Structure 1
Amino acid sequence: MSSRRLRNRLAVVAAAVVVAPIALFAPPVTAEEADAADLRVTYVESARWNTGYTGEITVHNASGTELSDWTLEFDLPEGSGVHQLWNATLEGSAEDGYTVTPPHWGATIPAGGTYEFGFNGIHTDGNSHLLNCTIQGSPCAGEPHQGLQHGDLSVAYFTQWGVEERGYQVRDLIDSGSAEKLTHINYAFGNVSADGECFMTNEPEQGDAQADYGRVVPASESVDGAADGPNQPLRGNFNQLRKLKEQYPNLLVSVSLGGWNWSEHFSDAALTAESRERFVRSCVDLYLKGDLPLIDGAGGEGVGYGVFDGIDLDWEWPASDGNPHNVVRPEDKENFTALVQEFRDQLDELGEETGRHFELSSFMPAGPWRIDTGYELDEIMPNFDFITVQGYDYHGTWESVTNHQSNLAPDPRDPGDVISTQTTVQAYLDRGVDPEKIVLGVPFYSQGWTGVEPGPEGDGLFQPAQGPAPGTYADGTEDYRNLKELSGFDLYRDDDLGTAWLYDGETFWTFDDEVSMTQKTDWVTDNGLGGVMIWSIDGDDAEGSLLSAIDAALGK
Structure 2
Amino acid sequence: MRFRHRAAAGFATLLLPLAGLVGLAAPAHAATEATATYSKPQDWGSGFEGKWTVKNTGTTAISSWTLQWDFPTGTKVTSAWDADVTNSGNTWTAKNKSWSGSLAPGASVSFGFNGTGSGSPSNCTLNGASCDGGPSVPGDSAPSAPGTPTASGITDTSVKLSWSAATDDKGVKNYDVLRGGTKVATVTTTSYTDTGLTAGTDYSYSVQARDTADQTGPVSGAVAVRTTGGDTGPGPQPGEKVNLGYFTEWGVYGRNYHVKNLVTSGSASKITHINYAFGNVKNGQCTVDDTFAAYDKAYTADQSVSGTADTWDQPLRGNFNQLRQLKAKYPHIKVLYSFGGWTYSGGFGQAAQNAAAFAKSCKAVVEDPRWADVFDGIDIDWEYPNACGLTCDTSGAAAFKNLSQALRTEFGKDYLITAAITADASSGGKIDAADYGGAAQYLDWYNVMTYDYFGAWDAKGPTAPHSPLTSYSGIPNAAFNSADAIAKLKAKGVPAAKLLLGIGFYGRGWTGVTQSAPGGTATGAAPGTYEAGIEDYKVLKNSCPATGTVAGTAYAHCGTQWWSYDTPSTIAGKMSWAKNQGLGGAFFWEFSGDTANGELVTAISNGLK
Matched with 2:43 is none
Question: Partners of 2:252 and 2:400 in 1: how far apart?
Answer: 32
Say if 1:411 and 1:418, in contact at 8 Å, map to a contact too: no
Question: Partners of 2:325 and 2:436 in 1: how far apart?
Answer: 36
Question: Partners of 2:142 and 2:497 in 1: how far apart?
Answer: 51
Matched with 1:501 is 555
Letter in 2 for 1:336: F
Say whether residues 1:279 and 2:358 are aligned partners: yes
Question: Partners of 2:255 and 2:173 in 1: how far apart?
Answer: 39
Matched with 2:547 is 492
Say if 1:77 and 1:127, in contact at 8 Å, map to a contact too: no
Say if 1:397 and 1:467, in contact at 8 Å, map to a contact too: yes
| 1:44-443 equivalence runs, <5 A | 92-93=187-188, 95-96=191-192, 121-126=216-221, 151-193=240-282, 195-200=283-288, 207-271=289-353, 275-287=354-366, 289-290=367-368, 302-323=369-390, 326=391, 328-329=393-394, 331-348=395-412, 357-368=414-425, 369-399=428-458, 400-401=460-461, 402-414=463-475, 416-443=477-504
Question: Partners of 2:419 and 2:54 in 1: how far apart?
Answer: 49
Say if 2:219 and 2:315, in contact at 8 Å, map to a contact too: no
| DSSP 3-state at the match of 2:399 | helix
Question: Partners of 1:122 and 1:539 in 2: how far apart?
Answer: 43
RMSD: 3.6
Question: Partners of 2:223 and 2:423 in 1: how far apart?
Answer: 45
Question: Partners of 2:507 and 2:409 in 1: how far apart?
Answer: 39
Say if 1:198 and 1:286, in contact at 8 Å, map to a contact too: yes
Question: Partners of 1:361 and 1:543 in 2: how far apart?
Answer: 28
Matched with 2:577 is 523
CA displacement at 1:92 relative to structure 2: 4.0
Question: Partners of 1:279 and 1:50 in 2: how far apart?
Answer: 39
Question: Partners of 1:161 and 1:516 in 2: how far apart?
Answer: 29
| DSSP 3-state at the match of 2:398 | helix
CA displacement at 1:473 relative to structure 2: 1.1
Question: Partners of 2:341 and 2:572 in 1: how far apart?
Answer: 27
Please list the CA deviations of residues 430-485 of structure 1 after superposition, one character each: whole Å capped at 9, or x if unmatched.
2221111101111001101111122xxxx152111111111111111001112123
Say if 2:161 and 2:191, in contact at 8 Å, map to a contact too: no
Letter in 2 for 1:270: A
Question: Partners of 2:220 and 2:275 in 1: how far apart?
Answer: 28
Say if 1:52 and 1:120, in contact at 8 Å, map to a contact too: no
CA displacement at 1:121 relative to structure 2: 3.1
Matched with 2:115 is none
| DSSP 3-state at the match of 1:181 | coil
Please list the CA deviations of residues 218-264 of structure 1 after superposition, one character each: whole Å capped at 9, or x if unmatched.
21211101122222231100111111111122211111110000011
Please list the CA deviations of residues 284-324 of structure 1 after superposition, one character each: whole Å capped at 9, or x if unmatched.
0012x21xxxxxxxxxxx1121111111111100111100x
| 1:16-35 equivalence runs, <5 A | none
Say if 1:83 and 1:121, in contact at 8 Å, map to a contact too: no
Question: Partners of 2:429 and 2:338 in 1: how far apart?
Answer: 20
Question: Partners of 1:89 and 1:522 in 2: how far apart?
Answer: 46
Question: Partners of 2:399 and 2:238 in 1: how far apart?
Answer: 39
Change (3 A) 1:276 1:490: closer
Question: Partners of 1:11 and 1:388 in 2: how far apart?
Answer: 57
TM-score normalised by the chain length of structure 2: 0.64
| Identical-residue share of aligned pairs (%) | 32
TM-score normalised by the chain length of structure 1: 0.70
| DSSP 3-state at the match of 1:525 | helix
Letter in 1 for 2:364: D
Matched with 2:508 is 447
Say whether residues 1:474 and 2:531 are aligned partners: yes
Say if 1:84 and 1:120, in contact at 8 Å, map to a contact too: no
**Rg larger for:** 2
Letter in 2 for 1:328: D
Change (3 A) 1:160 1:534: same
| DSSP 3-state at the match of 1:463 | coil
| DSSP 3-state at the match of 1:382 | helix
Matched with 2:593 is 539
Say if 1:318 and 1:336, in contact at 8 Å, map to a contact too: yes
Say if 1:524 and 1:531, in contact at 8 Å, map to a contact too: yes
Please list the CA deviations of residues 105-164 of structure 1 after superposition, one character each: whole Å capped at 9, or x if unmatched.
xxxxxxxxxxxxxx85333553699x99xxxxxxxxxxxxxx999610111110011111
Say if 2:175 and 2:187, in contact at 8 Å, map to a contact too: no
Say if 1:389 and 1:441, in contact at 8 Å, map to a contact too: yes
Letter in 2 for 1:168: Y
Question: Partners of 1:97 and 1:215 in 2: how far apart?
Answer: 33
Change (3 A) 1:91 1:156: closer
Matched with 1:37 is none
Question: Partners of 1:509 and 1:51 in 2: how far apart?
Answer: 62
Question: Partners of 1:209 and 1:76 in 2: how far apart?
Answer: 30
Change (3 A) 1:334 1:533: same
CA displacement at 1:277 relative to structure 2: 1.7
Question: Partners of 2:263 and 2:450 in 1: how far apart?
Answer: 26
Letter in 2 for 1:436: A
Say if 2:381 and 2:420, in contact at 8 Å, map to a contact too: yes
Question: Partners of 1:284 and 1:181 in 2: how far apart?
Answer: 28
Question: Partners of 2:363 and 2:407 in 1: how far apart?
Answer: 9
CA displacement at 1:414 relative to structure 2: 2.6
Say if 1:83 and 1:122, in contact at 8 Å, map to a contact too: no
CA displacement at 1:337 relative to structure 2: 1.3
Greater relative contact order (Cα 8 A, min sep 6): structure 1 or 2?
1
CA displacement at 1:383 relative to structure 2: 0.5
Say if 1:460 and 1:505, in contact at 8 Å, map to a contact too: no
CA displacement at 1:413 relative to structure 2: 3.2
Aligned length: 431
Could you say which structure has the higher helix fraction?
1
Change (3 A) 1:500 1:379: same
Letter in 1 for 2:565: F
Say if 1:92 and 1:98, in contact at 8 Å, map to a contact too: no
Matched with 1:105 is none
Matched with 2:86 is none
Question: Partners of 2:541 and 2:55 in 1: how far apart?
Answer: 51
CA displacement at 1:373 relative to structure 2: 3.8
Question: Partners of 2:489 and 2:223 in 1: how far apart?
Answer: 46
